[in-house]
Every structure is written in C-alpha cells, then in structure tokens.
Structure 1
Amino acid sequence: MEIDDMTPAEERVWRAFSRGQDVDFRESADEDPDRGADWGPERTVRAAVLRALLLSAPQEDGETAALRLGGARITGSLDLKYGDIDHAVRLSHCYFENVPVLYAARLRQLNLRDSVLPGLDAATLRVDGVLRMSDCLFDGPVRLGGAQIAGALFLDRADIGALSAGQPALQLNHVTIGDGLSAPGLRARGGVRLTGASVAGSVDLGQARLEGSGGEVVLDAELAAVEGDVLLRGVEVYGWIGLRGARIEGRLDLSHARLSNPGDAALRASSCTIGEVWLRKSPPMEGTLNLRRAQLDVLWLEPDVVPEEVLLDSLVYTSLTPHAPAERRLAMLRRDGEGYVPHAYEQLTAAYRRIGDDHAARQVQLAKQRRHRGTLPWYGRLWGYVQDATVGYGFRPLRAAGWLVSLLVIGSVAYALHHPQPLKADEAPQFNPVFYTLDLLLPVISFGQEGAFAPADGYQWLSYALVLTGWILATTVVTGITRTVSRQ
C-alpha cells in the first residue's frame, strides 16, 4: 500500500510505528469503546494499513518499532494468519468492525485491553510474551485452541458471548501457557473449553459468571494439567464443570461458589488428581457432585455444601476437613446415587482414624454394616438385626455385658425359686442358681452345674433359651473382637 493512499489518522500511526510511539485517539480516559461504530474518519484506521505496517513497514536504526494504538475504529478484517511479527502490538480501547484473524501467527506480544471485538480467530497462535485481553467485550467466540503463549494470558473482566447455542464462548483447548491464566470477573455465555490445556502457573476464574443453555458443560477442563491452583472462588456456574482426568498440582478452590445444574451433574471431577479440593462457604450445589475415582490429598468439604446426590465410588483422599461429627458425614454417604458403596465408608473411617477420632470411626463402621444389611437376603438381614441389637456388630461390645447381666439375673432368680432336680442325688454338687445360669450362658466355661441338674417343664425351655442366647452373644462378641483387631 502506498503512503499517499493513507488518511491523516493512518499516517500518524505509520510514522509512530518505527519509533514505537503511542497514538491515542481517545478524547477522555473513561471513553467507552462500545460506541466505536460512531467514531469518524479522524480516528478510523483500516485493518489493511495495520497489516502492511506489521508485516513490511521500514524500521529506523537505533529505534524499537512497535504498534501502540488506542481509541481507534479499525475497519475491515485484520488478517495476520501465518504472519511472523517481531514487534509488540497494543491495540487497546479500540473498536473492531470485523473479527481479527491471527490463525497460526507468531507475535512478540499482543495487548487488546479494553477493546470491543465481534470475536477472535487465533487458533494455534504463538505469542512469545504476554497475551492481554483484559476488560475486552467480545460479541462472538474467542478461538485460541492450540495456542502457545510463553507468558501469561490475561482475560480479567472480559465479556464473551458465543454466536450460537452449544458453541463455546472461549476456546482454550490444548493451549499451552508458560505462566498463568488470569480471568477474574470473566463473563462467558456459552462456556469455557480448557480440554487438554497445559498451564505452568495458576488458573484464576474468581467471581466469574459462566452460563450455558440446556444444562451443557460451561467449564470443560478434561485432561487439563495445571501446575498451580485453579481458583473458582465466588463463581456463578449455570451448567456443569467437567474435570475428568485433570491434574491440578495445587488446589481447586470453589469457596463461595454457586453451582447450578438441576437434574444433572454440577461438578464432574472423576478420575482426576488434585492436591486439594475446597468446597466451603457455599450454598448446596444444585446438581450431582461426582468424585468417582478421584485422587485427592485434602478434601475440604463442608457438610452444608453437599448436594442431594453424590457419586463417591473409589474416591481416595488423605485428609478430610473440617472436622465434623460422624452423623453429618454419614448423611453424605447415604446420598450416593450408586447405593451402598463400601469404599466410601472405608475412606471416611480412615480419615477419622488419622486424626485420632476412634469413636467417629466406629460409628462409620457401624453405619456401613447397617447399610450392607439392606443388600442381604432375608436370613442375612435377620442375623444382622441380631448382631446389631446385641453388640452393635461388635462396635458396641458393652451391649453384650448388659444382655449377659440381664439374663444372668433372670436365670438366677428363676432357678433360685425353683431348683432343678439333680440327675444323681448322691453325686450332685450343691446347687447354685448363679453359677448354674452362668453354665448355661457361657458355652466355653463350665462350673459343673449344668450337667448335674435337669430342670423340668417351662424351666427346661428357659435353659434352652439361655444356652441359645449365650451362643449368639459369644459368636457376635468374637466376631466383633476379630473385626476390631483386624482394623487395628
């Protein structure tokens, strides 16, 4: 393009480029670029001029060329695909009439802060420094799939809308970010795709609002790898979050978050590996919490945050905080959509034992046995009820002592009032109702009373009942002791 073809505004930008000087067409610092369609020719720059400037403009010796333009209306399509640009580019507070095309381009640095754009087509873009799009307004999707950004990606308070339902607003699938992704206050209508992304720093989406249509995924980070934290503090999510197979070295922080996807999953974090998961200071999720096969070091889960349905099969965690009574934690296990999941009870028991709360651990094990009882045939359930009533499946052994004392009193009183007849009067020892009853109750120990006397009528049936009850009590006590010793 010849320089004679340029408007005064374009000539100003062209001359400033070789020296890296700023060109700012704004009338005030707080000017709203959303009204850029009304800006006149005095601040209009054609995209073709900018393209020629970046790809072929001459440079001055001893100067660092850079495009630093603000407050301009950019007409036409800024097409830099496959371009190799060694200059820093800043197009802040600008209004773009068409979607910039940066497909497979390489830039030293790109700053679009506070600009208004109909979208961005920048898949497989390579940026040697920082990509900054803070406070931008995108009327269409931002496509950065497969991009490589050596520095950080900034999307603070950006507002992005997809063109059609089901289309993600922000596509960052398979992106590689050498630092972090900063997007607090992001607004995305159509969701964010981070599938297979690799982030060397942290991902910050605090106070973001992510919404989809028809219960679709609004934050898809399946198989993503984040070496720092994923901060979702105070987010509002209308749809579901997918983290299947993700690896997060630090913490997944969902404090003060609102997750809403009624009738489906709100958070799917199955088969992922995460340092810490924080679910705290939030209203209950509206939807299912899916943590199946997840590997967590710390699970910070407040009971009030737990939704009506959870999926916890094969979930492994080292520590569970904050400390809460077993009754409140057991309510979560009863909400498991897969029914009775033994592994979930074992994990909760181990968590209580690690902090020395053996009483809570026994309560969890007792609840596990009761839940398991419901899966047995009728005879198994019957035997379970007996074990539960007598010694609490071995986790309440003092119950056996109470039963034994009660039966001992009953038998002693009954046989003290009605002595059984001796089998051999000349060989029988002196009758003792207490030790006679103990002989009936204790199947192993013998005091020589039971074999020497024979009760009659109803007292014979009483002896049968005492013998049978003694065997049941002995069996359940031994079972309980064996279980407790094996757990230790």
Structure 2
Amino acid sequence: MMIDDLTPAERRVWEAFPRGVSVDFGAAEDGATDDGATDGADGGPGRTVRAAVLRTLLLTAPREEGEVAALKVSGARITGTLDLKYATVDSVVRLSDCRFEEVPDLSGAQLAYLNLTGSVLPGLRSARVRVDGGLRLTRCRFGGPVKLTGAQISGTLFMERAEFAVPDGGEPALRLNQAEVGEELCAPGLRARGEVRLAGARVAGSVNLNDARLDRPDGVALTAETLTAEADVELRRAQVRGRVEMRGARVAGRLDLSYARLAHPGGTALRASSCVVGELWLRGGPRMEGVLNLRRSQIEVLLMEPDVVPAQVRLNDLTYTSLLPHLPAPRRLPMLARDDDGFIPHSYEQLTAAYRRIGDDDAARLVQLAKQRRRRATLPWYGRLWGLVQDATVGYGFRPLRAAVWLLSLLAVGSVAYALHPPEPLKADEAPEFNAVFYTLDLLLPIIDFGQERAYAPEGGGQWLSYVLVITGWILATTVVTGVTRTVSRQ
C-alpha cells in the first residue's frame, strides 16, 4: 500500500506508528467534537481508518532506528476486516474506544500485547491466539460471539465491565475453553447475555468475576468444567440466571460465591461435582433457586450458611474437613433431608465427623440419631417397628438416660402395685421375706437374681403386670446393649 493512497486520518496513524506515538481521534481535530472518544467513533471520514491500512502497518511498515514502533489509536472508526490470522506482530497494539464495522480475525496470531479498551465490536475471532503480554478487553462491547478457544495469554486477561451478547442466543457469547492465562483472569462487572465458557481453561492466578451479570435463563450461563485455577475463583455479588456448571474443576484457593444470586428454577443452579476445592464459600446471598449439586467433591473448608441452601441438594460422597460457621445440629440437619438421592448415610457421617473435630460431641450424637431415624423410613414394617422401640426407649443408644428413666418408672409402678397386693409364696416355709422393690427388679433385670421372682407366684392383675415387666425389661436390656455396642464400635 502506497502512502499516497491514504486518507488524512490514515496518514496520521501511518506517520505515528514508527515512533509509537498515540493518535487520538477523540480530540477536536479533523472536524471532531469534544464529546469523547466513544461518541467520536461513530463519526465520519475524519476518523475513519481502513483495517487493511492497520494490517499493512503491523506486518510490513518500516521501523525507525532507535524508536519502538507501536499502533496506538483511540476513537477511530475501523472499516473492513482486520485480518491478522496466523500473523506474527511484535509491536504493541492499542485500539481503544474504537468502533469496528467487521469482526476482527486474530485466529492463530502471535501478538506482543493487545488493548481494545472501550471499543465496540460485532464479535471477535481469536481462537488459538498467542499474546506474550496482556490482553485487555476492558469495557468492550461485543455484539456477537467472542472466540478465544485455546488462547495462550502470558500476562493477565482483563475484561472489567466488558459486555458480551449474541443476537439469537445460539452460540456462546464468550469462549475461553482450553485457554491458558499466565497471570489472572480479571473480569469484575462482566455482563453476558449468552453462555460464557471456561471449560478446560487454566489460570495461573485468580479468576475474578465479582459483580458479574450472566444471563441465560433457559440453559447454562457459565460453563467451567475442569477449570484449573491456582488461586481463587471469585463470584462475589454475581447475579446468574441459568446454570453454573463447574464439574471437575480444580481450585487451589477459594471458590467464593458470597452474596451471589444464583437462579435456575426447575434445574440445577450450581453443579460443582467431582471438584477439588480449597474453600467453598456460600454465604450472605438469597436462597439459591434450583438444585445444588456437590456430589463427590473434596473440599477442605466448606463455609455454607443454611439460609443459602436451596430446597434440593445432591451431596452423595461429598467430603469436607471443616464446616463453617459452627451452628447447632438442628440448623444443619434439614439440608441432609433435602437430598434428591434419598437417604445418604455418608452425608450424616461427614457432618458427624465435622462436629467431632471441633469437640462438639452432643451435636455429633444428634446427627447420628437423625441418621437412624432417616434410615428407619427405608426399612420394612417390622424394621420400622423395632426402630420405633429403640428410638422411644434409648434413642438408638444415643439417649442412654432414657433407659434409666423407663426402669425407674417401671420400678416405681411395680413396687407400689406389689406392695399393695403382694403375691403368694410358692412354698411358704422356704420363701424369703417378700420385698416389693427387689421382686420388681427381679422381673425387670433379666441377668440379676435376687431370689424373689422364683419364690412368689402373682395371680390375676399382678401376673399380667409381671409379664409386662419381664418383656419390657428384655426390650430395654436389648436396646441398651445394641446402642452401647454401636457407640463403642463407632468410637
């Protein structure tokens, strides 16, 4: 391309490039106004630059000795397609507050640094792009799909307050699947109407999606399957309409959903199954709308407030070391009862272990009692009947004082009844002196013999009372032994 073919606006860019000088079409030149670069990007020929001119500059323009060439343009209207497919560009590229008429194609390109801050684009094709420095899409507005699949970014990927949208919702609004980011993915305040894909991405630092707004109510809003983050993944105060899919993710630090609003009624709001997470924070926000799926995940610290937990959960094989905040067992148990998979013994054992680690044995016993009661509902009728007996008498061994209360009550009833109506001795000359208390104890305690039971024979009502005392004594003894055995074996 010859310099004589350039428009005045393009000539400014051409002459500034070898020395790395900035060209700002937002300034009051070439018929521009002082209203700002973004408005100026909508203007006429005074700020219009052909994409072919920019391509020629980046790939073939001569450099000046002793100067660092760079393309630094603000407020331009760029016509045509900026085609840098598979190109190698060793100059800094900054096209901020510009308006692109066509979708730039950076597929497979190698760039030193790219800054599109504040620009408006109909989309971006940049699969497998390699950026040796940072990639800045801060405050960009995209009217079509942004494809960064397999991108390799050595520095930080900036997308603060960027907006992504697809007209029909068919394609993902943003594709970062299989991308590699050498530092951080910084996108607080991001807005997306359509799916955001981070599946298989690797981020050496943190993923910051605080205050993000993700909107895809009829499907998956955020796909982060097998995402690997060496630090934190933050969605504090995020608002998501649609499913958050994080199956198999690896987060070395904190997965922070504090004050977030997740809504996918009739479907799964958050699926973080088979994940390995340092800390998972679910606190401060409204109750999640949809299913919470944490199956088979391994979490060191689970900070989960009951008020955030939805009506349906899936917790099978979830393991955690610490559960915060420390709350009474009755506040935690309703969550286990909401499991879609039904009765899951492992969930009760995990909660029991969490209480025992902090020395709250009373709460641990309450959880175990709730486990036995939940299990009872899965048994046949005779199992449920025997379970009711164990529960009423000794609380499945976790309420041993109940046995003492029953024994003392029955002892009192029997002692009074037999003191008022003593039974007749079987052999008057051989029978010991009758004692109503020890006679009742002989009936109640099957392994103790005070010599009273075999020496006297009650009749009528006294005989029926003796049957009740003997049967009740055996039941109490059996349930106490069963409960103690269960407790001892568990310890």
Judge same fold: TM > 0.5, yes or no: yes
Q: Which residue of 1 aligns with 2:4?
A: 4
2:130, 2:34 → 1: CA distance?
31
Q: Which residue of 1 aligns with 2:16?
A: 16
Instruction: Note if contact 2:235-2:256 (Cα within 8 Å) is conserved in structure 1.
Output: yes
Q: Which residue of 2 aligns with 1:336?
A: 339
Residue 269 (structure 2) pairs with residue 266 (structure 1): yes
1:150-189 counterparts in 2 under 5 A?
150-189=154-193
1:313, 1:176 → 2: CA distance?
32
Output the amino acid matched with 1:394: G
Give 1:88's match in structure 2, choosing from 88, 92, 101.
92
Instruction: Note if contact 2:217-2:264 (Cα within 8 Å) is conserved in structure 1.
Output: no
1:484, 1:251 → 2: CA distance?
36
C-alpha spacing 1:271/1:203, structure 2 compared with 1 (3 Å): same
Q: Secondary structure at the match of 2:83?
A: coil
**Which stretch of structure 1 is more off in the superposition, 423-432 or 387-396?**
423-432
Q: Which residue of 1 aligns with 2:363?
A: 360
Instruction: Note if contact 1:190-1:213 (Cα within 8 Å) is conserved in structure 2.
Output: no
Q: Secondary structure at the match of 1:212?
A: strand
Provide, for residues 315-356 of structure 1, a one-character-per-residue CA deviation record: whole Å limited to 9, x for no partner.
Answer: 101111111121111111111111111111111111111111
Q: Secondary structure at the match of 2:19?
A: coil
Give 2:254's match in structure 1, choosing from 237, 241, 251.
251
2:378, 2:404 → 1: CA distance?
29
2:183, 2:39 → 1: CA distance?
30
TM superposition shift of 1:32: 5.4
Q: Which residue of 1 aligns with 2:381?
A: 378
Give 2:125's match in structure 1, choosing from 112, 117, 121.
121
Provide, for residues 284-335 of structure 1, a one-character-per-residue CA deviation record: whole Å limited to 9, x for no partner.
Answer: 0111111111110011110110111111111101111111121111111111
Q: Which residue of 2 aligns with 1:25?
A: 25
Give 1:36's match in structure 2, choosing from 29, 32, 41.
41
C-alpha spacing 1:327/1:235, structure 2 compared with 1 (3 Å): same
2:230, 2:35 → 1: CA distance?
37
TM superposition shift of 1:163: 3.1
Provide, for residues 68-114 of structure 1, a one-character-per-residue CA deviation record: whole Å limited to 9, x for no partner.
Answer: 11111110000000001111110011111110000000000000001
TM-score computed with the length of structure 1 as normaliser: 0.98
**Which stretch of structure 1 is more off in the superposition, 121-130 or 335-344?**
335-344
Give 1:442's match in structure 2, choosing from 437, 442, 445.
445
2:452, 2:172 → 1: CA distance?
84
Output the amino acid matched with 2:36: E
Give 1:391's match in structure 2, choosing from 390, 394, 397.
394
Q: Which residue of 1 aligns with 2:107?
A: 103
Give 1:227's match in structure 2, choosing from 227, 230, 233.
230
Provide, for residues 403-439 of structure 1, a one-character-per-residue CA deviation record: whole Å limited to 9, x for no partner.
Answer: 0000001111111112222222222211111011101
Instruction: Note if contact 1:119-1:142 (Cα within 8 Å) is conserved in structure 2.
Output: yes
Equivalent residue pairs, number: 486
TM-score computed with the length of structure 2 as normaliser: 0.97
TM superposition shift of 1:446: 1.2
Percent of aligned positions with the same letter in both sequences?
67
Instruction: Note if contact 1:34-1:116 (Cα within 8 Å) is conserved in structure 2.
Output: no
Q: Which residue of 2 aligns with 1:46?
A: 50
RMSD over equivalenced CA pairs, Å: 1.2
Give 1:69's match in structure 2, choosing from 57, 69, 73.
73
Output the amino acid matched with 1:23: V
Q: Which residue of 2 aligns with 1:131?
A: 135
C-alpha spacing 1:344/1:29, structure 2 compared with 1 (3 Å): farther
TM superposition shift of 1:29: 7.7
Instruction: Note if contact 2:40-2:76 (Cα within 8 Å) is conserved in structure 1.
Output: no
Q: Secondary structure at the match of 1:463?
A: helix
Residue 202 (structure 2) pairs with residue 198 (structure 1): yes
Q: Which residue of 2 aligns with 1:140?
A: 144
Q: Which residue of 2 aligns with 1:469?
A: 472
Q: Secondary structure at the match of 1:289?
A: strand
C-alpha spacing 1:259/1:453, structure 2 compared with 1 (3 Å): same
1:403, 1:464 → 2: CA distance?
16
Q: Which residue of 1 aligns with 2:350?
A: 347
1:317, 1:166 → 2: CA distance?
38
Q: Secondary structure at the match of 2:265?
A: strand
Instruction: Note if contact 1:166-1:212 (Cα within 8 Å) is conserved in structure 2.
Output: no
2:35, 2:315 → 1: CA distance?
51
Q: Secondary structure at the match of 1:259?
A: strand
2:387, 2:122 → 1: CA distance?
67
Q: Which residue of 1 aligns with 2:30?
A: none
Provide, for residues 22-62 of structure 1, a one-character-per-residue CA deviation record: whole Å limited to 9, x for no partner.
Answer: 1111137862526633x111211100000010011111111
2:422, 2:37 → 1: CA distance?
105
2:458, 2:170 → 1: CA distance?
83
C-alpha spacing 1:139/1:481, structure 2 compared with 1 (3 Å): same
TM superposition shift of 1:191: 2.1
Q: Secondary structure at the match of 1:239?
A: strand
TM superposition shift of 1:164: 2.2
1:323, 1:30 → 2: CA distance?
56
1:30, 1:399 → 2: CA distance?
81
Instruction: Note if contact 1:141-1:163 (Cα within 8 Å) is conserved in structure 2.
Output: no
Residue 455 (structure 2) pairs with residue 452 (structure 1): yes
Instruction: Note if contact 1:165-1:213 (Cα within 8 Å) is conserved in structure 2.
Output: no
In the alignment, structure 1 segments of 5+ residues that lack a partner are none
C-alpha spacing 1:232/1:375, structure 2 compared with 1 (3 Å): same
TM superposition shift of 1:213: 4.3
1:29, 1:212 → 2: CA distance?
38
1:344, 1:375 → 2: CA distance?
16
Give 2:307's match in structure 1, choosing from 304, 307, 325.
304
TM superposition shift of 1:456: 1.6
Q: Which residue of 1 aligns with 2:239?
A: 236
Q: Which residue of 2 aligns with 1:288?
A: 291
C-alpha spacing 1:168/1:29, structure 2 compared with 1 (3 Å): farther
**Which stretch of structure 1 is more off in the superposition, 413-422 or 54-63?**
413-422
1:319, 1:485 → 2: CA distance?
24
